Structure 1
Amino acid sequence: MAAYSTYTDVELTSLLKVGDQAAFNEIHKRYYALLYNHAFKRLPYREEVKDILQELFAFLWNNRASLILTSGLAAYLYSSVRNRVINVFTKQKVRTAYAASLQDYLVAGENVTDWRLREKELAALIEREITALPPQMRRVFELSRNEHLSHNEIATLLNTSPLTVRKQVQNALKILRSKLGANLFLTFF
């Protein structure tokens, strides 16, 4: 039996590719503690670091035949550990964002889709009632509420008095209030 501890990384990698279990054991023995310390500096959770290393060595063994190392075994192992640590942080970030959005949803306590549907239906109902107003009253009301014009501006635009405009808006509001209900009306106007 050869003393695998004297083999170089290149020799161990070659033996690993052909399925030499002892070469794999030597790689594991040679790098496990170093990789553990490397990962633990970035991710101070022992169990997660152990999981990362177990996944790495399992991947190394399972993919040994197709393994291509362009910069050497040590560089490959360190890069793999670094990438797996980054993946852990990325997954934690996604979990945190998901938990926060779920918490926001629970705090809101309402079904947003249902609320939007009701809002659209209500807007359509209000629009129908506004359309049913007498033409001059509707024009004055729309200029006041949709165009945000003052009574004086509307009076100038329609060549009428500001008092007439004011009365038209009051009458429109009275009609809408009676048709839509006082509570609903106060919510939107």
Structure 2
Amino acid sequence: MSHIVKNKLIDDAALWSNLKAGDEKSFSLLFEKYYGDLISYGNSLSPYSEKVQDCVQDVFADIWLYRNSLQEYVTVKAYLLSSVRKRIARLFERDHIFRKTTSTEKLEFLFDFSIENDLVEDELTAERVLYLNKLLNELPARQKEALYLRYHQGLNVEQIAEMLDVNYQSANNLLYRGLLSLRKEWKGSIPLILLLSTNVL
């Protein structure tokens, strides 16, 4: 394969194409690039961190094993996140945590938002940011997950809809309602979207 594969800045489409062609370096780069995000997301869906790690590793193992039958064009990050979500849902069904279902709708989003104070310049705004954290974590689980996928993982509405197994309008409504609830309370000097998109850990 081309020496360009060694460059970690190579785009996902090229890595995916090289992976499908059997290039192990491209596979390794994708693993390194997204492993942390997938573990973080998996931990937001399950309190069992070791099982989450197993699920993420299984997703990558399947990708390599069935690389010849993978779709030609995918948004890699969305594909991986969705695969982890489905894998965890199947794990829950196998372990009888849920009754006879593999529906991802049954997954409870457990992630706790924590917006840091790096952008905060005054005590009043710092207090508002703490309050915003509280508001975020009190949102309904589906709204919170939609916001996480949009602003923390950078997915678009269509990708969020596919991941949550809802139509486009429903995904858009989840985002709208979540943001509406936050905007009603947010009076800080820093734009809300800036905090969500750059400072949510």
TM normalised by structure 1 equals 0.47
TM normalised by structure 2 equals 0.45
Computing the radius of gyration from Cα coordinates, the structure with the larger value is 1
Higher relative contact order (CA 8 A, sep 6+): 2
Higher helix proportion: 1
